[in-house]
Chains A and B, each alone.
Chain A
Amino acid sequence: MTGKSIRIDNTHISRVEGHGNIVVHMEGDRLNRVEWQIPEAPRFFESMVVGRDWSELSRITSRICGICSIGHTFASQKATEAAMGITITEQTRRLREILNHAENLQSHILHVCYLVLPDLLGVGSVLPLIETHREVVLLAIRLHRLANETCDKIGGRTTHPIRACVNGWSMLPHKKTLEEIRDDHVKALEDLKTLAEFVQSLAHKLPDFERETEYVSLTNPKEYALYDGVIKSSDVKDFIQPRDYERVTNEYVDDRSTAKWTRFNRDAYAVGALARFNNNRDQLSDVAKAVAGQLGLSAPCHNPFMNSVAQVVECVFSAEKTIEHSQWLLDNGMKEEDRGFTVREGRGVGAVDVPRGTLFHDYTYDGKGKCVEANLVIPTNQNHANIQADMEDLVPLIRDMPGEKMNLTLEMLVRAYDPCISCSTHCVDLRRS
């Protein structure tokens, strides 16, 4: 129906973390305005950490985000460790891996089951599903609780983990606790298989939309990269070292957003579970690959709506890795380690692939261990431009839908990226070019 005037002004869309607006104004065939706006209040973290002691940095930056506080904590601690020339022990790394995977599981379950599933079942939230799909909700809660309890057991507290420190841990788990974690995740694999089947039954409801996209993530020759790796782009053969991240991110301010945007080889790129899957799929475990196949996800996939499916695949992978790392620690035993090191001036970058994508923390310290400069690039920052580009391509394709359905489809597009908007709004570059 050409000639229809479309006006969508969706302020503070629901079921995403943080505040974002979708604005679409069309007159007939003319697209006057398609905008993904970020009005989220910036909190100025990069300024807040200036002058603070190295021991406080990860405590402050973990508060950038409640859902990925663990990811921020590790990116922060890795940056400090890089700046001060610290190499962590294998024991520390394995414990960080478990906590990282637990956060991955927690965040993906929250996203897929609480934020995305309602759209696929035609309801406004997970609450009515307690009546209509009680078993699925209880299963989601079980998995969510397991992930959170694992975070509590290793990190001391799931949101803003206490035990995680620069160069080690303030407290180690008991042997019995690791055994519990291992055994509980073995059982969880069954629940995850059930979840995968349920998602499979709904997968046809995901819009069939593709736009060729550049995907950026970490990559690691040893395994499917999450905690550690170098930067890979689907467009470029060579990998980039984390300390050169700015060559990839190229942040700039756009008037539509309090969060900065990024671009690399195209006008936009995407990070997140789908990006990781596209870049590193072959390194997934056999079980995870099988689940991907079952869910119709193959690499490369340029349908942003499939990000949620990639997250389900990663849940399986994270559960398996948790079992593996717990077993390693049980086999090798754990011992108290000295976290001491010599404070010195320096600059370091920590890169971690957190549930929503690649996260960079970049710190510069003076000789007394006080932060003099900081730069943080958040996964969702890196997705905003891509969301905008997707929206510009998608709108003409769905302009003939009834208004509500069109609005819902656009919301689903944004939700598919699992954006963490409040994280992304504080983006800063202290080094004025």
Chain B
Amino acid sequence: MSTKPKVAFFDFASCEGCQLQIANLEEKIIGLVDLVDVVEFREVMTEKAPVYDIAFIEGSITREKDEARLRDIRERSGVLVALGACAATGGLNRLKNVRGNLEQVRRDVYGSDWDRPHLETYATRAVGEIVPVDFQIHGCPINREEFLHIVEAFALGTTPEIPDYPVCAECKIKENVCLFDMGQTCLGPVVRAGCGAICPSNGVGCEGCRGIIPHANQNAMKDVLAEHHLTVEQITEKFNLFPLYLEVTP
């Protein structure tokens, strides 16, 4: 590669934990900046650039004024990648939508100040609901190794491949004792692998932060959870902590 791709990072409504994973690459940051030219990354650098080969967007879109900023970035980017669950599916930010009445939500938070103009908000949207997205990187937070794999693929000019199969496969390979066998529950059978089954590996059931797989067997998942004594209410809550009712096409 004679010219290094120009890469930029942006964030909207997020916790910046996904961008933090870039800093958490530690020594591999040096390898990364050999591979790509980071031309804009507000969190760690002052410089800016007019155009980008690849723009990474962290965070959801929660207000109309954010749309204009996003569209502008899309215009100036060759490839646009959603970085993390908030960008790819709306992530936890979508819980705000679950509550239903948005005005009530705003009153809950700001009381009588709820409708001051600078406090506006609308139902959380994923980046792909506003502009075309070329690739989705899932997870809350993202998996650093997967991120590198994806950047390497883009730098090589090829399409990155990420798993379409459930987290269960990764638990089996790691020889984890299945949480269902230990009296717990887990959404692994319907959630996208690629995280190394990190939560089950640490004794906590998968919450679904990487989103639902294509053709997930949601009915069977609900049946299995009910067979493990979860109520309908509990099952519904599991499915909407992260928006698993939403299928996001890669």
A44 touches B96 (CB 8 A): yes
B96 closest partner in A (C-beta) = A44
Chain B residues within 8 Å of A255, by CB:
116, 118
A162 at the interface (CB under 8 A from B): yes
Whether A127 contacts B33 by the Cβ 8 Å rule is yes
Q: Is the CB of B26 within 8 A of A47?
A: no
A260 and chain B: residue at smallest CB distance? B110
Interface window among A94-102, A140-148, A285-293, A386-394 = A140-148
Q: CA–CA, A157 to B24, complex, Å?
A: 12
Contact pick for A63, options B17, B21, B111, CB 8 Å = B17
Among A42, A162, A428, the most chain B Cβ lie within 10 Å of the Cβ of A42
**Digit string of B218-250 for contact with A (CB within 8 Å is 1, else 0)?**
000000000000000010010001000000000
Set A47, A51, A65, A157: member contacting B109, Cβ < 8 A = A47
Residues of B within 8 A of A185 (CB): none
* Cross-chain contact B47 with A43 (CB below 8 angstroms): no
Which A residues touch B198, using CB under 8 A? 156-157, 162
Tell yes or no: B71 within 8 A of A by CB. Answer: no
Q: B91 contacts which chain A residues (CB < 8 A)? A: 63
| Contact pick for A160, options B66, B111, B141, CB 8 Å | B141
Whether B95 is near chain A, meaning CB under 8 Å from some CB there, is yes
Min CB–CB distance B168 → chain A (angstroms): 17
Q: How far is the CB of A171 from chain B (nearest CB, A)?
A: 4
Q: Which of B96, B112, B199, B207 contacts A432 (CB 8 A)?
A: B112
Known: A17-B16, A50-B99, A145-B26. A426 touches B42 (CB 8 A): no
Q: Is the CB of A159 within 8 A of B96?
A: no
A52 interface residue (CB < 8 Å to B): yes
Tell me if B17 and A69 are in contact (CB < 8 A): yes
Instruction: Scan B183-217; emit 1 where CB is below 8 A from any A CB, else 0.
Output: 00000000000000011011110010000000000
How far in angstroms is the closest Cβ of chain B from A280?
28
Contact digits for A112-126, partner B, Cβ 8 Å, 1 yes 0 no: 001100100000111
Given the known interface contacts A65-B16, A65-B17, the answer about A159 and B241 at a Cβ–Cβ threshold of 8 Å is no
> Which residues of chain A have C-beta atoms less than 8 A from B1's C-beta?
none
> Which residues of A sit under 8 angstroms from B95, Cβ to Cβ?
48, 52, 60
Is A56's beta carbon under 8 Å from chain B? yes
A429 to B201, CA, bound (A): 37
User: B33 touching A159 by the CB < 8 A rule?
Assistant: no
Are A67 and B20 neighbours in the complex by a CB distance under 8 Å?
yes
Nearest-CB residue, chain B, relative to A408: B46
A144 adjacent to B26 (CB under 8 Å) = yes
For A394-433 the 0/1 string (1 means CB < 8 A from B) is: 0000000000000000000000000000110011111011
Is B44 touching A159 in the complex (CB atoms < 8 A)? Answer: no
Report which residue of A56, A63, A145, A171 has the largest number of chain B beta carbons within 10 angstroms of its beta carbon. A63
| Cross-chain pairs A/B with CB under 8 angstroms, 10 sampled | A14-B43, A46-B109, A47-B99, A48-B95, A59-B241, A64-B15, A118-B46, A165-B204, A422-B16, A428-B110
Q: Which residues of A contact B (CB under 8 A)?
A: 12, 14-19, 39, 41-44, 46-48, 50-53, 56, 59-60, 63-67, 69, 110, 114-115, 118, 124-127, 130, 138, 141, 144-145, 148, 156-160, 162-163, 165, 170-171, 253, 255, 257-258, 422-423, 426-430, 432-433
